[in-house]
């Protein structure tokens, strides 16, 4: 059975849990990272020299990098659904996965860490405010791109929605100012119709 290492409040682990559930792949999960440790143990470093989560082991393959794991699982179990067969369609989804990591994550991570994992007296207000502004700009771009689309790849839910969907939830759940973006709101509402999203992503922020 597929093995997954990572704590459930890690956004990168949540992407993998969401994909596994969408694809109905059975798995065994071991808590790892932050308070659980494990990531510095020699056996773990051998699998993942970065000492980060998630890592999976599946059928002789050891893999880290959450988006790569989502792509692998989608290709293996979701051809024609999470993994569009048409290369152009797939590139569209891939692009949103990369964008979530390259543009949304660097904006939102300092906000999340500042407001959720840092005591008020130690917060870097400027880093938080900068992140709030950059995240607003990123989601304005998403708002524009969602015109005529139910999901980032078009009419159907795909792997392209998984990394982005985890950030959309965090952005909505953080106690920050957000511009009113009706398409992003409708997209978030659509994602919430998916039981796997509610179960693995929409957890209290911690």
Ligand X SMILES: N[C@@H](CCC(=O)N[C@@H](CS)C(=O)NCC(=O)O)C(=O)O
Q: Which of residues 26-85 bind ligand X (CB under 6 A)?
A: 33-34, 39, 52-54, 65-67
Contacting range for ligand X; rule: CB under 6 A; set: 9-17, 76-84, 165-173, 187-195 = 9-17
- Name 94's Cβ contacts closer than 8 Å, sequence gap at least 6: 71, 160
Instruction: Find out whether 192 and 157 touch, Cβ atoms under 8 Å.
Output: no
Using CB under 6 A, count the residues that bind ligand X: 12
The number of angstroms, rounded, from the C-alpha of 143 to the middle of its chain's C-alpha atoms is 18
What is the DSSP code string of 28-84?
Answer: EEE--SGGG--TTSHHHHHH-TT--S-EEEETTEEEE-HHHHHHHHHHHH-BTTTB-
- Residue 54 C-beta: closest distance to ligand X, Å: 6
| Binding segment toward ligand X, per CB under 6 A, in 4-12, 89-97, 140-148, 149-157 | 4-12
Task: Assess 11 for contact with ligand X (CB under 6 A).
Answer: yes
Q: Which of 4, 10, 84, 200 binds ligand X (CB under 6 A)?
A: 10
Q: Which residues bind ligand X (CB under 6 A)?
A: 10-12, 33-34, 39, 52-54, 65-67
């Amino acid at each position: 059975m597929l093995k997954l290492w990572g704590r459930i409040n890690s956004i990168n682990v949540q992407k993998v849990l969401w994909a596994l559930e969408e694809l109905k792949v059975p798995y065994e999960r071991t808590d790892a990272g932050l308070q659980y440790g494990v990531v510095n143990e020699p056996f773990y470093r051998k699998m993942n020299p970065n000492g980060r989560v998630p890592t999976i082991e599946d059928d002789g393959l050891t893999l880290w990098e959450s988006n790569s794991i989502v792509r692998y699982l989608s290709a293996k179990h979701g051809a024609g659904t999470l993994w569009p067969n048409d290369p152009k369609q797939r590139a569209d989804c891939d692009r949103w996965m990369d964008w979530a990591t390259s543009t949304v994550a660097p904006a939102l991570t300092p906000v999340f860490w500042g407001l959720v994992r840092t005591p008020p007296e130690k917060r870097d207000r400027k880093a938080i405010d900068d992140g709030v502004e950059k995240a607003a700009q990123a989601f304005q771009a998403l708002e524009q791109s969602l015109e005529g689309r139910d999901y980032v790849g078009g009419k159907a839910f795909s792997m392209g929605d998984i990394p982005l969907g985890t950030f959309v939830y965090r952005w909505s759940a953080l106690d920050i100012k957000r511009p009113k973006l009706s398409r992003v709101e409708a997209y978030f509402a659509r994602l919430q119709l998916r039981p796997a999203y509610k179960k693995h992503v929409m957890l209290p922020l911690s």
